[in-house]
Amino acid sequence: MSARSFSVSIVASAVMLMLGSFPSVANTVTESIEKQNSYIDLQQADIALFHYRESGNVLAKAGVTVHPSADHITNPISVRGATNGVAIMQDNIFYSAAPYSGQNIVLQPNLFFQSTLSSHQQTNVGQGGQGGFGLLNYTSIAISPREIDTVINVEINDDGSPAGGILVGGKTKQYGMLLGVDYQKADTDSGFITDFDNKHEQTDIMFKINSDSLPGARNHQKTEFSYYYSDKTSDTSKIGLTDDYFTAKPNGRYAATQLDYEHGKRQRYALAHQVSLPGQSKVFTDFYYQTFSQRGHDTLLLEDELINNLSLMQLSEFEKAPTAEGLLTSASKNDNDFAGFGVQSKGITMYGPHEVIYQARYHTDKAEMRVGGHDYLINQDLSLTKQDTDYAVGKYTDDADAITTAVNAKLNYEKLSVNFGLGYEHVSVSRELGDNTELLTAADFSDDGWIPSIEVAYQQNAWLFALSAKQAWTAAGAGNTEQLAQEALQYQLAINYQQDGLNVGLTAYMHDFDNMHSTCKWGVNCDPIQNTQQVNLKDVSVSGIDVSVDYSLNLDWYSIPLALDYRYTQAEFGQTNCDIIVGCYSDGSQLPWVPEQQVSASIGFVMDKFSIVANALYQTETGSPFFPGNYGIDSQWNIDLAAQYQMSKEHKVYVRVENLLDDDLVAKNYQMGIISQGELKTYIGYQGHF
């Protein structure tokens, strides 16, 4: 569970500095609640011993709703029903190259390079519209203060798939440097009749160099340059399996999909500057530029019809008894490029116990989209022969520019904290159509929104209480034909108790949407046209309760850490309608991507050099009777287990078991079949720290 911060912003249209990459000087009561319940230290023992590089279980512990995904495919997330207007950040910089123009991109950073993870469940006025309905922020590993510091990690699973990473860095006088490299590879048999594999390969690089103040500098300063690179290729398909085939081999794929894959390459350059001014004032400024290229091949059509439950049965029968006539399939092939640039700054001034934060950001991004297609004949030996006819390549470009400003006043009176604030964002959006885009609509519009917020919080001994009211706003994307912003009023009451190793948090909230955006981001099956669209859901209501309990039983010779995060969410449509993305829905029914209940729980046993921890994620059923058919996912548990032995101060070995119960966990169950999350895997690893 997460009790969120209730900061409020009183906007100034001319702000000297911008959205920052560093924490504020003072903690309000609600920031304390948030840190205790939605802040994950990835280096703490009960998390670090899993040595995850990616995990939906970790995301759930941070307080977001995790949507299942196929093996090696990034988990989409939502926050209190919202899938759009939710920002993924790294070091308080957008992780996506194009958060405004590329709203269907789903990316998460490699956990090997991260030190902490936190979430906001309400709007943060300084973040503007992207982040107005939730925020997931990663903090990357900092440069070590030691002269030389090295971490080495290697692991292998029961399929023989390896992963390995190294971090090397240190600090000399006023200069510091850090270099990190991580590599993963997996190769598993996927064919039923024919012999082909699901392959996954990923390389990540992180580089940082920084400098403290030069001798004689009037004010203390710190400057850091960072570079991130990620290259990921996964053999994956939108085509799932029939019930019989899923039961026989959950991770299998039909031969028709053997050419399907997904590839992404991301690069980011950032320069961060921090200045400490007289009177406890600080200024943080970031310049960043990043790119992301996306390539893919998706089988979508069988005999010129979008694959559905009936045609999937036809494909399944052909796999069992192929004929000389063969079957004709069609696949889309995308070749997309995204780029974004921004400058952001944040100024913090202290007036005794009170704090005023000035923030601003200019961000611009672009999505250049190219989608073509090919026809293939599935032969009697289940090989694929490319046909002579290629589909014309459709091209279009989405652009967006955003200016965000905010002022946040935090007034602290001993036990009482009162926060007022106001944010403002102006967004300009355009869509320029190129070749073969007759079914798309050009766009050129701008919109602006005010984001007010107020909070009152009180602290009494071990108890913390906070009440907040906010208005959240996110501009429409280029694919929104009505050009309507996503808007909601957000109300929240949070209570927290912390004493003697026990931390208990309770949050009750209601988000009243005038309009909610929906896109293909959350995982419904979409064709290339649907991927260009953003639809509006009117009068959605989301309310719920989050509960968090953390306790560590510490005895003389062992300890037992316990953690439980429970969230109950009632997210209901406000009208009966049908649209191109969601399908058909009725007034009062649950949003199909939101489980009514989600539980994240862990229990461990730590004794001297030995540790063992079990980590579980439970979600109730999702899905609804969409037209032409979303058949939903039943409630399911995903349990991981890890054990670690600290051989010496420098060396440790570990075992991690994912999907401990070896259940047939479902990532998707829709008209194109059932797709698995992955079967039981066992990893053996070593980590050294020198």
Q: How far apart are the first and last CA of the chain?
A: 36
How many angstroms separate the CA atoms of 375 and 607, rounded? 60
Identify the pLDDT of residue 174: 86
Sites in the chain below the pLDDT cut of 70: 1-37, 214-216, 522-524, 624-631
Question: Rounded to the nearest 5°, which phi and psi values hold at 313?
Answer: -65, -40
CB 417 within 8 A of CB 30: yes
SS3 helix, strand, coil % of the chain, rounded to 5? 10, 60, 35
Domain spans of the chain, in order of start: 29-689
Identify the pLDDT of residue 10: 25
With 0.75 as the threshold, say if the pTM is over it: yes
How many angstroms separate the CA atoms of 369 and 330, rounded? 19
Q: What is the dihedral of CA 45, 46, 47, 49, to 10 degrees?
A: 70
Torsion sign, CA atoms 6, 7, 10, 12: negative
CATH for the 29-689 domain, from 3.30.200.20, 3.40.50.300, 2.40.170.20, 2.60.120.260: 2.40.170.20
CB 29 within 8 A of CB 491: no
CA-based nearest residue to 613, from 556, 679, 685, 561: 561
Question: Rounded to the nearest 5°, which phi and psi values hold at 100?
Answer: -90, -40
